[in-house]
Every structure is written in structure tokens, then in C-alpha cells.
């Protein structure tokens, strides 16, 4: 045993030469993530963190824990090490890694349903940005506000959720999830999808990630502070404001007709899936355009093969597709289902035969009490994507209304398998 220890000392195991292996460890961890080798990623990231206790190494560890699904382990580890500013030495890219660690921590809190703690984590993330002048990428800010919107919605802070979702797709015009969430929290009546998904409204995002030329970017409007982002009144003479965020000015003319409630299907099972539409006054304040960093910053996790170039034509094609799908979703959320069905039929066929579109189409027929048409759509969905669970509540409602007990039992059995 003494000879073995002596031999270890002579070869230098555990000395400072091991620091040279840090770059290799990072490469192995990234490769393990891409190949879904999460066990190996956790093991190697723990070796890296033991080798150099830095904020960057901490990020590799918590990211590996996150992909492994060890949210509780991640949560308690970061809680014990916080505050990170005093725990880890300052380095060149400390702000970048600090932001990313807090981002992973906040999303892990959402996974654990610790919404109040998630709000604290994301708030501290925002505070660090303001106090230290750190400017994250437009994509990172969009993701930050998206998750903050989810947390605010869970905490029943509707105004806060609206503000964060609007700011989110203001930073990233291709973040369709933020648009969907904004519709569900009562903003569907005030949206212009052509402005929301307009690439010119997300100039910083395009500059960061799209290698296209000749695209005229939307001019930025200076705001007093980042906290003022959201649904607030701005000067009506401004050419920007709500237009770039896709919220339109409704006319101030009052309607002589009383406000009508959205129709609901009678006697339906699982009616909780419907989206509540909140009425708004005739004059709606405009949101201020979120501040975006003037200097493009690349996202460290974003990469495109060098042989693939994103062109202006490709951006415009995606813009048109998102406009059509977004408008269909918005109309169905407003229970304007006949118009929504018309827009759905304008979606290209290669996209219309997908689960998301078929669920929306089936839901539109269900809201119109066209139960037979809804069942046909959902039957087609089951043949196309039998593993999809989204839309099955609506499908079961249509089967119940048609008193198809056998099909309803078969559906319930397949969902429990």
C-alpha cells in the first residue's frame, strides 16, 4: 500500500497539472449532452467542478443535473451555494455564467412547482442585470420573460403575466409559445399577428442568429427604464410602441350593443380546457417596446452548420406561416371559430396535416357544437399521431356528446396505457 501511494505521488496525481484537463472535460460534457449521455455528463461535470470551483463549472454541473431530471438535487445545491457573487471568484464572463446558472435554477423551481421561489430567482437575475450593466442576448431575455410570465400566471398575477409575455415575443418574434400564452391571459382581442411575427420587430434577435443581409430592422424606441416594459400608456403620436409588439389601437367609438359572452358548449365533459376571454375597454393603452441590446451578442448554446445559411426569403416564409397559424389560434381563443376554420384551411398542406393544427381545428368544430366534424378531425389526429395527448380532452367531450360510449372507453383505455 505504501508503494502504491508513493507511486501515485511520483506520477503527480492530484497536482496542479490536472487543471489542463478542464477544456477536455467541458468538451466531453457538451458531447455527452448532445448524445443524451446524461449519466456521463453528470459524472464529468462533477469532476470539472471538483477541479475548478468556478461559476462556469457550476453551470455545467447544474445543467447536467437538469437534463438528468434531478431538479431537487439541483435546487438544494444552488440554495446552499447562494449568493454566487461571494462564493465564486470573479472572472471575465462571470455575468454570462451567473445569468445562465440562475436561469437553470429558476426553470428547475418551475419543474418543482416552487413558483414563489422561482419568482425570487428570476427577480434576482433581473436585479443583477440592472446593477452590473450586463446585457444578455435578445433570445436570453425573451426566455427570461417567458418563464417569468409562466410564474406570474401560476401566482395569479394576470397583469404581470401579460407584461412578461408581451415583452418576451417583443425580444424574439419567433417565440410562438409566448404568443400562445399571451392569448390565454386575455390579450387575444388586442393582437395583430402581422406585427407580432414581423422579423423587423426583433432586430437584435435577427442580428444575433440570422446570417441574412438586406433586412431593414425596426428602429428602437428609448424607454426610461426596463421595469416600464409591458402594458402601459405611451404617446399616441409615436410610430412604434404597441405596433412592434403586435397590440393594436382599438377604435374609441363605443358600441351600442352590450358585451356578449363567448359561447360555451353545453353539457360538455372537461370544460375546464376552454380559454377565458376577458373583455377590455374601448380604449386600450399601448405597451412600450422592450429595450434590446444595441450590440449583437451571440448565444453560447446556439449554433448552425456552416453550410446552412438563413436567407431573407426563408425568414419571410416563416413569418407568413406564423402569421397564418397565429391568427387561427387567436380567432379560436376568441371563439370566432367560423373565421378561425377559414384561416386554418389557408395553412399549407404540409403543415395542416400536423398534430397542432388538427387539435386547433377539432377544438374549433367542438366550440361550434359540430361534434361529428370534431370527431372526424380527432380520429384523423389519432391515426397520424396516436401518441399525442394534447386535444384528447376535447375529443372525449365530442364522443360524450355523441353518446359513443365504446369509442370513449377505448380512448380512455389507450390514454392509461
Q: pLDDT tens digit string along 232-279?
A: 332 333 333 333 344 443 333 444 444 444 444 433 333 333 333 333
The architecture (CATH level 2) of 353-417 comes to Alpha Horseshoe (1.25)
Domain 1-134 part of CATH 1.20.1730.10: no
Best mean pLDDT range from 85-89, 279-283, 328-332: 328-332
287-315 pLDDT, tens digit per residue, is 444 444 443 444 444 444 455 677 888 88
Query: pLDDT tens across 202-212, in order?
Result: 667 777 765 44
What distance lies between CA 339 and its chain's CA centroid?
A: 27
Residue 313 to residues 74, 216, 305, Cα–Cα distance (Å): 43, 13, 19
Residue among 135, 128, 130 at smallest CA distance from 98? 128
Contact 232, 158 (CB under 8 A): no
Residue bearing the bigger pLDDT, 265 or 62: 62
pLDDT over threshold 50, residue 223: no
Compare 186 and 7 and report the one with higher pLDDT. Answer: 186
**Which has the higher per-residue pLDDT, 224 or 156?**
156
Q: Which residue has the higher pLDDT, 15 or 323?
A: 323
Beta bridge partners of 230: 288
Alpha carbons 26 and 48: distance in angstroms, whole number = 8
Residue 347 and residue 339 in contact, taking contact as beta carbons nearer than 8 Å = no
Domain positions in the chain are 1-134, 353-417
In the prediction, which pLDDT does 416 show? 84
Reading phi first (left if > 0) and then psi (alpha if -120 to 50, else beta), residue 77 is in: alpha
Grid cell at residue 356: 397542432
pLDDT of residue 90: 85
Q: Are 48 and 25 in contact (CB under 8 A)?
A: yes
Crossing angle of the two packed helices 138-154 and 115-132, in degrees rounded to 10:
150
Q: Which of 6-20, 166-180, 222-236, 237-251 has the lowest mean pLDDT?
A: 222-236
The Cα–Cα gap between 182 and 18 comes to: 50
pLDDT the model gives residue 315: 85
DSSP code of residue 183:
I
- Equal CATH topology for 1-134 and 353-417: yes
Question: How high is the pLDDT of residue 210?
Answer: 56
Query: Average per-residue pLDDT in the chain?
Result: 77
56 and 97 Cβ atoms separated by less than 8 Å: yes
At 229, the pLDDT band (50, 70, 90 cuts) reads very low
The answer to whether the beta carbons of residues 396 and 270 sit under 8 Å apart is yes
* Choice among 137-141, 160-164, 323-327, 356-360 with the minimum mean pLDDT: 137-141
- What integer pLDDT is reported at residue 18 of this predicted model? 65
Residue 180: closest CA among 347, 381, 302, 359 = 359
End-to-end Cα separation, the chain, in angstroms: 56
Confidence of residue 134 (pLDDT cuts 50, 70, 90): confident
pLDDT of res. 415: 86
What confidence category does residue 91 fall into, taking pLDDT thresholds of 50, 70 and 90?
A: confident
Instruction: Calculate mean pLDDT across residues 161-174.
Output: 93
Contact assessment for residue 378 and residue 398, using Cβ atoms and an 8 Å cutoff:
yes
CA distances from residue 155 to 72, 88, 160 in whole angstroms, order as listed: 21, 32, 10
Distance CA 358, CA 347 (A): 11
DSSP 8-state symbol, 185 = I
Is a pLDDT exceeding 70 seen at residue 368? yes
**Residue 193 reports pLDDT greater than 50:** yes
- At residue 202, the pLDDT reads 63
Q: How far apart are CA 45 and CA 31, in angstroms?
A: 12
pLDDT exceeds cutoff 50 at 221? no
Q: How much is the pLDDT for 131?
A: 84
Mean pLDDT is lowest, of 57-66, 232-241, 346-355, for 232-241
pLDDT score at 309: 78
CA distance 26 to 14: 19
Per-residue model confidence (pLDDT) at position 73: 95
Average pLDDT estimate for 354-378: 96
At residue 84, the pLDDT reads 84
Residue 173 has pLDDT above 60, yes or no: yes
Amino acid at each position: 500500500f505504501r508503494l502504491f501511494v508513493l507511486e501515485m505521488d511520483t506520477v503527480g496525481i492530484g497536482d496542479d497539472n490536472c487543471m489542463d484537463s478542464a477544456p477536455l472535460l467541458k468538451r466531453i460534457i457538451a458531447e455527452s449532452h448532445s448524445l443524451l449521455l446524461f449519466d456521463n455528463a453528470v459524472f464529468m461535470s462533477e469532476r470539472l467542478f471538483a477541479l475548478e470551483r468556478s461559476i462556469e463549472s457550476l453551470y455545467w454541473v447544474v445543467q447536467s443535473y437538469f437534463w438528468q431530471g434531478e431538479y431537487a438535487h439541483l435546487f438544494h445545491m444552488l440554495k446552499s451555494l447562494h449568493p454566487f457573487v461571494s462564493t465564486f471568484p470573479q472572472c471575465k464572463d462571470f455575468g454570462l455564467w451567473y445569468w445562465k446558472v440562475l436561469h437553470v435554477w429558476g426553470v428547475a423551481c418551475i419543474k418543482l412547482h416552487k413558483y414563489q421561489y422561482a419568482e425570487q430567482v428570476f427577480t434576482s437575475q433581473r436585479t443583477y442585470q440592472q446593477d452590473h450593466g450586463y446585457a444578455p442576448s435578445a433570445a436570453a431575455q425573451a426566455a427570461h420573460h417567458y418563464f417569468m410570465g409562466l410564474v406570474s400566471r401560476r401566482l395569479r398575477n394576470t397583469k404581470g403575466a401579460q407584461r412578461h409575455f408581451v415583452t418576451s415575443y417583443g425580444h424574439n418574434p419567433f417565440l410562438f409559445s409566448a404568443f400562445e400564452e399571451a392569448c390565454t391571459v386575455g390579450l387575444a382581442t388586442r393582437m395583430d399577428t402581422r406585427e407580432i411575427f414581423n422579423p423587423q420587430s426583433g432586430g437584435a434577435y435577427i442580428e444575433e442568429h440570422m446570417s441574412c443581409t438586406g433586412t431593414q430592422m425596426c428602429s428602437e424606441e428609448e424607454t426610461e427604464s426596463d421595469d416600464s416594459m409591458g402594458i402601459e400608456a405611451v404617446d399616441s403620436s409615436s410610430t412604434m410602441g404597441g405596433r412592434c409588439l403586435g397590440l393594436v389601437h382599438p377604435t374609441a367609438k363605443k358600441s351600442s350593443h352590450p358585451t356578449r359572452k363567448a359561447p360555451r358548449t353545453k353539457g360538455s365533459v372537461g370544460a375546464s380546457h376552454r380559454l377565458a376571454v376577458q373583455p377590455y375597454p374601448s380604449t386600450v393603452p399601448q405597451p412600450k417596446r422592450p429595450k434590446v441590446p444595441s450590440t449583437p451578442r451571440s448565444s453560447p448554446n446556439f449554433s448552425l452548420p456552416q453550410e446552412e445559411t438563413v436567407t431573407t426569403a426563408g425568414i419571410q416564409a416563416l413569418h407568413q406561416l406564423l402569421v397564418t397559424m397565429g391568427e387561427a389560434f387567436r380567432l379560436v381563443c376568441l371563439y370566432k371559430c367560423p373565421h378561425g376554420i377559414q384561416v386554418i384551411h389557408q395553412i399549407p398542406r404540409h403543415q395542416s396535416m400536423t398534430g397542432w393544427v388538427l387539435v386547433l381545428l377539432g377544438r374549433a368544430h367542438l366550440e361550434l357544437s359540430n361534434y361529428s366534424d370534431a370527431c372526424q378531425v380527432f380520429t384523423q389526429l389519432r391515426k397520424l399521431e396516436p401518441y399525442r395527448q394534447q386535444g384528447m380532452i376535447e375529443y372525449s367531450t365530442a364522443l360524450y356528446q355523441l353518446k359513443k360510449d365504446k369509442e370513449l372507453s377505448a380512448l380512455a383505455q389507450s390514454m392509461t396505457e
